[in-house]
């Protein structure tokens, strides 16, 4: 065999390898920056349908719409990183919005309302955490049961009626600004920064990643798995409780159907933002924030484009499917 033919065979053998490397790089690039590209495309598309979409006023409105789901997604990120799940969030939002409304009517101020809403959520989170971490029950079943119990108890206490939340506390969260920025946006920013600092720079945060990647291995390394999983549900509950307060203040009138299905929007937003359902991967910022922002941008754009209201449900279903599909593709074949 001459040297020329040998050289051609070597080139042919290397071409599939080079092609595969390029494909892997493109896939990795898409997973890393794809959501940013999607967000930019959405902004450009919706701005074509309505010239008011790309304005400062609508951007502020979009951030306000993002706040409550983003705060809840930040709390959920602690649970998801351990490989857990919480689908009681919608019921917690409903309960805390109702309870804190009643609490503020008897004279509680802004600080008291924030503390009480987070305390209520933390209590529910501690129940979830105890049953899951200490008794080793399945997170999906536990939080599903808690979801039904909370909504049923709340409706049993207040009745099937709309509860109005329009006192001074509600007006502060709905209308007041801090240094020209809506108060709830400021609260969201504080929560985002605090959560990301905890996840990135504390021992507790590193332990959550370790548990999500390999629970048995984390236990062998001396990490207190039960305690950390328990605390993740407590933190999740507290932040979802705060989300309930802010949601109730924004809407002003809380019907019995309030926040039904909201847990699936929050979960899909978190997963879309890169927080893995398999555990051990993700971030509060930019991950959870970006995921929620993309979903709220779609809903905001559809409203401004005057799309059929029933189309929103279809879009939400597609978003959930895409988020789970991407997460499954990213984690295919990994050993956990």
- pLDDT band of residue 51 (cuts 50, 70, 90) is confident
Give the tokens for residue 220: 């062998």
**Mean per-residue pLDDT, 286-301:** 93
The pLDDT of residue 4 is 55
CB 40 within 8 A of CB 194: no
Instruction: Round the average pLDDT of the chain to a whole number and report it.
Output: 89
The pLDDT of residue 321 is 84
Share of the chain above pLDDT 90, in %: 71
List of domains in the chain: 55-330 (1.10.3470)
The pLDDT of residue 333 is 46
pLDDT in tens, 77-86: 999 999 999 9
Judged against a pLDDT cut of 90, whether residue 35 lies above it is answered with no
pLDDT in tens, 80-132: 999 999 999 999 999 999 999 989 988 889 999 999 999 999 999 999 999 99
pLDDT in tens, 55-81: 999 999 999 999 999 999 999 999 999
Give the tokens for residue 105: 């009517």
pLDDT in tens, 245-273: 999 999 999 999 999 999 999 999 999 99
Lowest mean pLDDT among 49-53, 95-99, 151-155: 49-53
- pLDDT band of residue 31 (cuts 50, 70, 90) is low
Residue with the bigger pLDDT between 136 and 18: it is 136
The pLDDT of residue 3 is 53
Backbone angles phi, psi at 334, to 5 degrees: -80, 145
The pLDDT of residue 336 is 46
- pTM for the model stands at 0.90
**Mean per-residue pLDDT, 292-307:** 90
Which residues have a Cβ under 8 Å from the Cβ of 162 and sit 6 or more positions away? 253, 254, 255, 256
The pLDDT of residue 335 is 45
Which residues have a Cβ under 8 Å from the Cβ of 263 and sit 6 or more positions away? 86, 87, 88, 89, 90, 91, 147
Dihedral over alpha carbons 192, 194, 195, 199 (to 10 degrees): 130
- pLDDT band of residue 328 (cuts 50, 70, 90) is confident
């Amino acid at each position: 065999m001459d040297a020329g033919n040998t050289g051609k065979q070597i080139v042919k053998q290397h071409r599939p390898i080079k092609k595969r490397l390029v494909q892997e790089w493109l896939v990795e690039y898409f997973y890393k920056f794809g959501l940013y590209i999607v967000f930019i495309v959405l902004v450009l598309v919706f701005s074509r349908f309505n010239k008011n979409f790309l304005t400062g006023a609508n951007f502020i409105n979009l951030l306000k719409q993002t706040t409550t789901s983003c705060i809840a997604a930040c709390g959920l990120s602690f649970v998801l990183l351990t490989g857990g799940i919480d689908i009681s969030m919608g019921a917690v939002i409903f309960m805390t919005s109702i309870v804190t409304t009643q609490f503020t009517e008897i004279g509680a101020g802004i600080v008291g309302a924030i503390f009480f809403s987070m305390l209520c959520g933390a209590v529910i989170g501690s129940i979830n955490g105890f049953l899951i971490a200490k008794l080793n029950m399945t997170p999906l079943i536990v939080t599903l049961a808690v979801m039904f119990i909370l909504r049923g108890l709340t409706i049993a206490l207040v009745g099937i009626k709309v509860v109005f939340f329009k006192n001074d506390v509600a007006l502060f969260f709905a209308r007041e600004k801090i240094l020209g920025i809506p108060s709830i946006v400021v609260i969201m920013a504080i929560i985002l920064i605090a959560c990301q600092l905890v996840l990135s720079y504390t021992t507790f945060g590193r332990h959550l990643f370790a548990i999500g990647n390999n629970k048995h291995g984390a236990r062998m390394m001396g990490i207190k798995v039960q305690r950390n999983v328990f605390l993740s549900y407590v933190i999740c509950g507290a932040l979802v409780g705060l989300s309930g307060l802010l949601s109730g203040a924004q809407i002003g009138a809380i019907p019995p159907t309030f926040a039904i299905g909201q847990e699936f929007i929050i979960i899909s937003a978190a997963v879309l933002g890169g927080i893995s359902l398999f555990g051990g991967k993700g971030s509060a910022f930019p991950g959870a924030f970006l995921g929620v922002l993309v979903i709220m941008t779609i809903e905001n754009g559809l409203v401004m484009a005057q799309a059929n209201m029933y189309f929103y449900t279809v879009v939400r279903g597609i978003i959930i499917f895409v988020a789970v599909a991407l997460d499954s593709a990213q984690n295919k074949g990994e050993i956990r």
